[in-house]
Amino acid sequence: MLKKANTMRLSLIAVVMVFAFETAQAQTNNGTAGNTPDVSKTVRSVAEALGMARRTNRAGAARLPFIDVINRMEIWGSGTSSDGSRTGLKTEYHVALSYNPPAVRLETTRTSQDGGAAPQHTIQTVRDSYAWNESQPGAGLEPGWGTATPAMAAAKQRLLQLWILPYGVVKAAIAAGDKTKLSTENGVAVITYPLSGPLTGVTVKATLDQKNFVTKVETQGDNPALVVEADYSDYADHGEALSGVQSPGHILQKQGGHPVLDIQIKNWDGANPYLVFPVPENVKKSAAQEPGKAATTKGL
């Protein structure tokens, strides 16, 4: 009788231990950086849908975890945009971006719909909190290679472009930890989180579809320049060489309810191409003369 009781007790303890262990295990598996399990699970689903979370089956690597494989991207498209004073301008759109370090080089060529005025070509660049305009990619880095004009006041607006892209949603939602919330609106999942670093004060709301693609990103904050709305659709692997990274085929950005960018994607290289964003010396000097302008991007 005593033996039977001991066996029963041991079995019960074993079962309780199993449940306790596996519950803890499940929490570890689903909980990244303080997110609740549902939020983490949803963010992971978005990362998997986008082709961000990848593993490999190469020899000796079968047990490696999934990691975020998105760092650098290059995007080409065409459509219409606004230059601040005119809307609906025909636009050739070319973006090079990096999340580590946070950097964007946005090159646009705009012409009026009737083709009357000369094309307007701009290259707007940001790295960390340094922002500048380039006469050509890499301008200002060596003598004879164009000019770099500091544009420190535009840094936050340019950096924001990183974090309203679908991949930025995943990265920033994870970085926000337990401040990231999951809810349901009109039957679809919505993730909300605050940005940090130089974009502290901006809150992002990302709407997902049934396939866990990000279909809409809306920001809120006190600075009107940082309040934008972006719609993403037609997801596919738009790379010339297929990488499995799913990207939108259509981007529509609005500010104040008005379209500021409406682009059809031609090519989206998500396979971490060679893209670099060194800060020209004159831009660093300019930032040093404007204390507080070159704030750290730590936290993003």
Q: Is 137 in the site for other proteins (CB under 8 A)?
A: yes
Three-class secondary structure of residue 117 per DSSP: coil
Between 7 and 289, name the residue whose CB sits nearer to other proteins: 7
Between 118 and 241, name the residue whose CB sits nearer to other proteins: 241
Answer whether the bond into residue 101 is a cis peptide, omega within 30°.
yes
Between 70 and 152, name the residue whose CB sits nearer to other proteins: 70
* Helix (H), strand (E), coil (C) string for 140-202: CCCCCCCCEEECHHHHHHHHHHHHCCHHHHHHHHHHCHHHCEEEEECCEEEEEEECCHHHCCC
Tokens of 258: 């008005």
Q: Is 271 in the site for other proteins (CB under 8 A)?
A: yes
Q: Which stretch binds other proteins (CB under 8 A): 15-23, 191-199, 207-215, 258-266?
A: 15-23
Q: Is 118 in the site for other proteins (CB under 8 A)?
A: no
Instruction: Name the packing angle between helices 155-163 and 166-175 (round to 10°).
Output: 90
Residues that bind other proteins (rule: CB under 8 A) add up to a total of 69
Query: How is residue 288 annotated by DSSP?
Result: H
Alpha-carbon span 105 to 111, nearest angstrom: 20
Alpha-carbon span 192 to 175, nearest angstrom: 12
How far apart are CB 4 and other proteins at their closest, in Å?
6
Judged by CB under 8 A, the residue of 38, 56, 87, 200 near other proteins is 56
Q: Is 55 in the site for other proteins (CB under 8 A)?
A: yes
Q: Within 235-264, which residues bind other proteins (CB under 8 A)? A: 240-245
Q: Within 180-239, which residues bind other proteins (CB under 8 A)? A: none
Between 227 and 276, name the residue whose CB sits nearer to other proteins: 276
**Residue type present at position 287:** A
Between 197 and 221, name the residue whose CB sits nearer to other proteins: 197
Q: Is 106 in the site for other proteins (CB under 8 A)?
A: no
Query: How is residue 17 annotated by DSSP?
Result: H
- Phi, psi for 142 (deg, rounded to 5): -150, 155
Q: Which residues bind other proteins (CB under 8 A)?
A: 4, 7-8, 10-11, 14-15, 17-19, 21-22, 25, 28-29, 32, 44, 47, 52-72, 74, 98, 100-101, 136-139, 141-142, 145, 170-171, 174-175, 240-245, 269-276, 278
